[in-house]
Amino acid sequence: MKKVLVIGSGPIVIGQAAEFDYSGSQACTSLKEEGVKVVLVNSNPATIQTDHEIADVVYIEPLRPGILAKIVEREKPDGIIGTMGGQTGLNLTMQLYERGFLKQFGVEVLGTGVDAIETASERGKFADLMQRINEPVLDSVAANSVEEAVGFAKAHSYPLILRPAYTLGGSGGGVAHNEDELVEKMKFGMRLSRIGQVLIEESVIGWGEFEYEVMRDGKGNCITVCNMENIDPMGIHTGESIVVAPSQTLSNNDHQMLRSASLKIINALNIQGGCNIQFALNQKTGEYYVIEVNPRLSRSSALASKATGYPIARVATKIALGYTLDEIPNAITKRTPASFEPALDYVVVKIPRWPFDKMPEADRRIGTQMKSTGEVMAIGRNFEEALQKAVRSWEIKKSSLSESNFKSLEEVLENIKNATDVRLFAIYEALRKGVKPEKIAELSSIHIWFIEKIRNIFEIEKEIGKAGKKIYDSELLARAKKFGFSDRQIAELIGSQEVEVRRRRKEAGVKPVYKIVDTCAAEFEASTPYYYSTYEQEDEAAPKEIRKVIVLGGGPIRIGSPIDNH
């Protein structure tokens, strides 16, 4: 390959934010490392990938098949990569292929091929493949008309789930509780689907949802980069869910079962690069279903990459050029190959950032269609620490889970039963009002392990309030910091000032240390690691005696502060 065309994802939309500038930028950089000339097309100028330092040739043009065909004719690239530009890039690649432009100009689709994209994206073909390889899928029909959908519904019970083919962020999908809803949502979903197809399937709302980020090269070598657990159950889009990595409530048997299924699926699809596989799991019975596969880089891919330190987009691009996993060096350790599965000795929590502060009259309920504009990620040595750090990163003018303004217990329980953007605060408030964790788990379908972890935070908060200023002379101060309590939280609980808590904490020797995200749980030395803070003994970050500058980021993608500040 001498020249490769990379397709961007276009303007920031819900479900397609900075994650795809990240993947596109990594792809361009990875190609240039191999001496390949990079031609990038994107309509969004406020991206890193549209800088000339990233790509050799940049076209800021409408992302439409006709425009791309003219660029292909002019530049005559040897190959095209469409899996780094979200659903937009994937759809455009398929349109160029279907209209014969790629064949006409001799352009090869690099990485995951057209057949794999079609099979993973077209719901009917995907269900057929899963049945052939004996992987369980929900009873479903890939409907191309309202009549097909209604016919399926007559043989099955409501609610039913609708998933349009080739759409982004659950667009056009939803839950139908009766025939009227089914007809209305079917018409809408067919309009949004590139091929007018909507999968109608049985519901497993309330089951656990687990994701596996998987990587495969052209010779069939596979690894799982990361497994993630959606704290919110099935029925809420994974992009709307609070997610923890690695999974916290999976038994080893269940993990191995889903991991084996992931490798089996990625091989059957003949994916070359990365993909995201989603499962529904009933942890009481061990029964699971394959929900869907994204045959491209996704929002979850960006999360998995940052959570593990494994550069998924960079490695996927090398694979697209023909490298095998064992031939690609790990960019962080410089010593291990990309075929080593990452190991995590910490906990990562992701919370979506919803724009309801700008649109207070909007429906705050969350479900199968995405509403969030961005997300925050926090790393800690335990779930409680990571969760509290994520809440403080949220930029919603709240610094702890205890800051809520519910008017009644009924309102609290309603927000737990029907998920909204304040469900976390509702769970905390319910625990404070004496609601049993079992009752909260029953109402929300959230695994009781997570409810108990939130209760741990509440119990420590009570201890801090009871100790008052005696906290300075006890082990409670260090324990509170280990569980993610900020100096400000502690100050408010004991009736002091934040600056005083910080001063007394430092005098007591309770100071943060920095740990490495290195892909290998410190088994090998890291050459280009990044760090997170926590409260333990060993500090793994040695400051260098050179002049330095701190650069402050813009926080989560939200209205008024999108990718431009990235």
What does the pLDDT look like over 191-204, one tens digit per residue?
999 889 998 999 99
- Domain boundary (202, 220, 244) is at 202
The answer to whether residues 21 and 92 belong to one domain is yes
- Ranking 121-135, 403-417, 534-548, 549-563 by mean pLDDT, the lowest is 549-563
Q: Which residue has the higher pLDDT, 560 or 164?
A: 164
Return the pLDDT at 358: 86
Residue 557 has pLDDT above 70, yes or no: yes
370 in a structural domain: no
Report yes or no: 75 and 3 within 8 Å, Cβ to Cβ. yes
- 417 by Cβ neighbours in 10 Å (0-12 / 13-18 / 19+) ranks as middle
382 in a structural domain: no
The answer to whether residues 197 and 224 belong to one domain is no
Mean pLDDT of the chain: 92
Return the pLDDT at 312: 92
User: Where residue 160 sits, what CATH number does that domain have?
Assistant: 3.30.1490.20
Give the count of domains, the chain.
4
The answer to whether residues 411 and 547 belong to one domain is yes
The answer to whether residues 291 and 426 belong to one domain is no
The pTM of the full predicted model, rounded to 2 decimals, is 0.92
348 in a structural domain: no
Cis-peptide, bond into residue 136, ω within 30° of zero? no
Residue 538 has pLDDT above 70, yes or no: yes
- Domain boundary (177, 202, 227) is at 202
pLDDT in tens, 525-535: 556 678 999 99
Order of strands across the sheet that contains 108-109: 57-59, 37-41, 3-7, 79-81, 108-109
Report yes or no: 386 and 533 within 8 Å, Cβ to Cβ. no
The answer to whether residues 187 and 277 belong to one domain is no
- Domain boundary (202, 217, 246) is at 202
115 in a structural domain: no
375 in a structural domain: no
User: Could you give the CA distance from residue 371 to residue 354 in angstroms, rounded to a whole number?
Assistant: 6
User: Where residue 54 sits, what CATH number does that domain have?
Assistant: 3.40.50.20
Q: Which domain holds residue 155?
A: 139-202
41 in a structural domain: yes
pLDDT in tens, 1-45: 899 999 999 998 888 888 888 899 999 999 999 999 999 999 999
The answer to whether residues 410 and 486 belong to one domain is yes
Return the pLDDT at 559: 82
The answer to whether residues 78 and 144 belong to one domain is no
The answer to whether residues 91 and 143 belong to one domain is no
359 in a structural domain: no
The answer to whether residues 185 and 217 belong to one domain is no
316 in a structural domain: yes
Q: How many CB atoms lie within 10 A of CB 497?
A: 12
Sequence-ordered list of residues with C-beta below 8 angstroms from that of 39, at least 6 positions apart, any chain: 3, 4, 5, 6, 55, 56, 57, 59, 71, 75, 77
pLDDT in tens, 240-297: 999 999 999 999 999 999 999 999 999 999 999 999 999 999 999 999 999 989 888 8
User: Where residue 477 sits, what CATH number does that domain have?
Assistant: 1.10.1030.10
Q: Which two tokens stand for residue 214?
A: 């998987």
pLDDT in tens, 51-100: 989 999 999 999 999 999 999 999 999 999 999 998 899 999 999 999 99
The answer to whether residues 80 and 169 belong to one domain is no
Phi and psi of 118, rounded to 5°? Answer: -60, -45
User: Where residue 292 sits, what CATH number does that domain have?
Assistant: 3.30.470.20
The answer to whether residues 459 and 564 belong to one domain is yes
The answer to whether residues 65 and 185 belong to one domain is no
pLDDT in tens, 463-493: 999 999 999 988 999 999 999 999 999 999 9
Residue 370 has pLDDT above 60, yes or no: yes
